[in-house]
Chain A
């Protein structure tokens, strides 16, 4: 079964600076999808960014970008120009096109310092 590992339980960043959250995963599949979800104190899971494994180009969404290393099975999230509203739990997730499930890592709690 696929597993997702987030090795950083907590991270902090100064407002306006850049932070990178790490994620690694284990799979034998060649086609899959990777996601970063944000969970603010309100609890609702919000999609931050998505990457299709067949795409070599790294996904970007405004201040959020990923570094997708397929061979290394690594999928890190970079947040540029960090804002106070970025403070939240961030979950990395893996989804196989063959299985109706999304595997989540344990999460990284991001604190943004003013």
Chain B
């Protein structure tokens, strides 16, 4: 009963490096999301996807890219990491975008950029 799985859980990057946060869900959900959570703040949407091959920007997309080649996977890529990207990143999924609305979350990935 895995649900939403994120890797890695922790990562330290140097300024200018790139990396990919992996996210996989086994619930056959169409919708997937990437959020970031800064200290003392709520979650903010980076990107989302309504199905394989379809992605769209959220509230804070700058500095990130996503792809959705399969229903299960929704990786988040950070290009040219900056200290402002130090945050905890959450991947989430939902069955649909306009019905009950509940999101299922992964355990989060803590990223530090030095």
Binding site for B on A (CB under 8 A): 4, 9, 33, 35, 37, 42-47, 50, 52, 91, 93, 95, 97-98, 100-107
Contact = CB atoms under 8 A, between A and B. Distances in A.
Contacts of A102: 33, 43, 45, 101, 103
Interface in B50-90: 50, 56, 58-59, 88, 90
Contacts of A37: 105
Nearest first, the 3 A-B pairs at minimum CB distance are: A104-B42, A45-B105, A33-B101
A45 B48 contact: no
Determine which residue in A35, A45, A46, A101 has the highest number of CB atoms from chain B within 10 A of its CB, and name it: A45
A98 B42 CA distance: 21
Contacts, number: 62
B40 A42 contact: no
Contacts of A45: 43, 90, 92, 103, 105
Given A33-B100, A43-B88, A100 B56 contact: yes
Interface residues of B, number: 28
A105 B42 contact: yes
A43 B107 contact: yes
Given A42-B107, A43-B107, A44-B105, A97 B98 contact: yes
Contacts of A46: 105
B2 interface: no
A44 B108 CA distance: 7
Centre residue among A35, A37, A46, A101 by max chain B CB count within 10 A: A101
A107 B88 CA distance: 15
Contacts of B26: none
Interface string B21-57: 0000000000101000000111111001010000010
Given A97-B98, A97-B101, A107-B40, 12 more contacts: A9-B40, A33-B100, A35-B102, A43-B107, A44-B105, A45-B92, A52-B100, A91-B42, A95-B101, A100-B31, A100-B48, A104-B42
